[in-house]
Every structure is written in structure tokens, then in C-alpha cells.
Chain A
Amino acid sequence: MQRYSSVAIALHWLIAVLIVGTFTLGLVMTDIPGLTPTKLRYFSWHKWAGVTVLALAALRLLWRLRSRPPAYPAHMPAWQRHAAHSLHGLLYLLMFAVPLSGYFYSLAAGVPVVYFGLFPLPVLIEADAALKPTLGALHYWLNMLLAALVALHVLAAFKHLLFDRDGVMQRMLPFSK
């Protein structure tokens, strides 16, 4: 079975690891009560990681547009192809929407993002106390939606590996032939 290109595989796994890490860090840091240096450090790391996801997602989208992914196996029913396409589309959308909602949440809170503490990123909106809670809630729920869709994506991959045994999952694994 034809595999994804090595660039596509590298971007998929790099983004996957970053998303899991950034998501977990987000839950941990917001659970720390009050104000501590650790909490502020985690917030900064979370934002840097989120911006990295956004940049890699943009690269990945560009790559996806010029290098088509391998075709699905012929035996896959049409509804499954549609389901897979829709899910991938939503995941792409959220790879942008989740970091962007967090970015604007931070700006609304009056805290611009300085990437790795070195590069100040554009301040696109002014601090806005009224908008802040809305963007906070949006960022949270987009994350929960992303978590649910990632779970579905992983379950589907394992379904192909364990039940269909059609090599669909192997197309994206880094070290299989």
C-alpha cells in the first residue's frame, strides 16, 4: 500500500506530539491556583508551543495542497471515505482554530505573545475585558472538540489496524516499510 510522503509523516507526528503536550500543559497550568512562577512559565511555554503548532499546521496545509495523500483502499465503503475526509477536514480546521483562539484570548487579556521570549508577535487586537471571557470559553471548547475528534481519529486508525487489517494506519507510521 502506498505510504504518505515522509514530509507528511514527519509533520503529522510532530504536530501530534505538540498537540498532546500543549493540551496537557494547558490543563495543568490552569489548575494551578493563584499566581506562581511555575504557572507563568507554563503559560509562556503553552503559548510558544501553540504558535509552533499554528506555524507547522500552515506548512502542513501547504504540503497537503501540493502533495496529494495516497488513495484509500478500494474495499473501503463510501460512507467511511466521507467520514474520514470530514474528520480530517475538521482536524485541519482545528489545528488553526485552536491556536488562533488561544492567541486572541491572550491578546484580549492584554498579554501579547513573545515567541520563545525573543520575538514579539503581532498585537492584532487591543486588550478587551469584555471579549476575554468569550475567547477563553471558545479556546476551551474548541480544545475539548479537538480532544474528542483526536480520540475518534485514533480509534479509527486502530480499527484499520486491528479489524480491517488493510494497512491504512501503516501509511502514516514513521518506521514501517
Chain B
Amino acid sequence: MKSLRILLAAALLAGTAAHAAPLKTDLAKSSVSATFKQMNVPVEARFKTFAAQIDYDAAKPEASKAMVDIGTASMDLGDAEYNREVAKKEWFNTAQFPKATFVSTSIKPAGAGKLAVAGKLTIKGKTADVTFPLTVKADGKQQVFEGQLPIKRLAFNIGEGEWKDTSMVADEVVIKFRVTAGQ
């Protein structure tokens, strides 16, 4: 895992040398959340700790790269007791899997202000190929990247045992993110 991370970082650095410098993420204007339905009630959980590294050049969008690290223990359901519960083994198992990661494999332009992103999403040690649309718009000197990515929680073993019941917590979870970054 660690060597993989170093490899990825090296790859990113290599990319950086060839293209523009990676953008600096403005965490105050960025957010990552997961919305799911619990007995049909929409519940939004926010991740307080995450890091995003985006290498984006509007002139050469297909050379873009993105890498996002999310601290699974920072998930906030708005209740301290519930936050402790979802850190446990049946949910995120944050002791063993402290991070969820996304690493792009391809980013292609898809119309004005839009990108089609493909990449690998790893949660709780399980990696899946995902694709999702991303919008990008300039905000002053910064770029705002926004997107939604629906996933199936059971594909990542999120909610084991009695929590597999999707009538209690739906299988579909929508990850919403907004990353503001600039030079």
C-alpha cells in the first residue's frame, strides 16, 4: 500500500514535470460528502479530512490527473456516537483502512466546462473502476471541480452482517465533491 502510494506520488511528480504544476487545493472551499438513504430518509455525511491533488491544464485537459485521499475516520454524521459506530469493523473499519482513495486513470474533455473522468476508487481495501462526469469552472484565479459519483456500498463491504439489509440502509450512496484549486 505504502509503496503504491509512493509510486503514485512519483507518477504524479513525473506528470508535473511534463505539464503544469499541480494545483493547490483550497480546502476551505472544498468538500466531500456521501449521501445515502436510511429507511428512505436522505442522510448526508461529510468527510472533514481529505486531500486532493489535481493536475489540470485547461489547454491540455487530457493530460490532467487527479488523486483524492479521504480520511475515513473523519466521517461526520452529525452525532458523535454514530460517528464512533461507523468507524467500526462492519462499516469503515478505520483502524485497518484509514483512507479511501481515488486515482484517475483518464480524464477527457466532454464539452464546454465538462470532463469525463475514469479512475480507481478504493474503499475498505476494495478497488473498483469508476467513471463520472466532472464540471470545471473558473472562479477568479481558482478552478472549481464539481461532481457526483454514485456507488454501491456493498461492493466495498460498507455495512456488514445485519447491515447488509438494503431496506434499512440503501445500497446506493452518492459521493458528492467540490474541489477548489488554483496555482
Contacts and interface: CB of A to CB of B under 8 A. Distances in A.
Q: How large is the interface on B (under 10, 10 to 19, 20 to 34, 35 or more residues)?
A: 10 to 19
A6 to B, nearest CB: 35
Interface stretch (B21-29, B74-82, B95-103, B126-134): B74-82
A41 B162 CA distance: 13
Main secondary structure of the interface of A (DSSP, over half): loop
B40 A41 contact: no
A114 B41 contact: yes
B41 A112 contact: yes
Contacts of B163: 37
A147 interface: no
Interface residues of A, number: 18
B160 interface: no
For B43, B44, B78, B86, the residue with the greatest tally of chain A CB atoms inside 10 Å of its CB is: B78
A130 to B, nearest CB: 12
B168 A111 contact: no
Given A34-B81, A113-B41, A117-B41, 12 more contacts: A34-B85, A35-B85, A37-B165, A40-B168, A41-B39, A41-B168, A44-B41, A110-B44, A110-B78, A114-B40, A117-B39, A118-B40
Interface of A: 34-37, 40-41, 44, 109-114, 117-118, 127, 129, 132
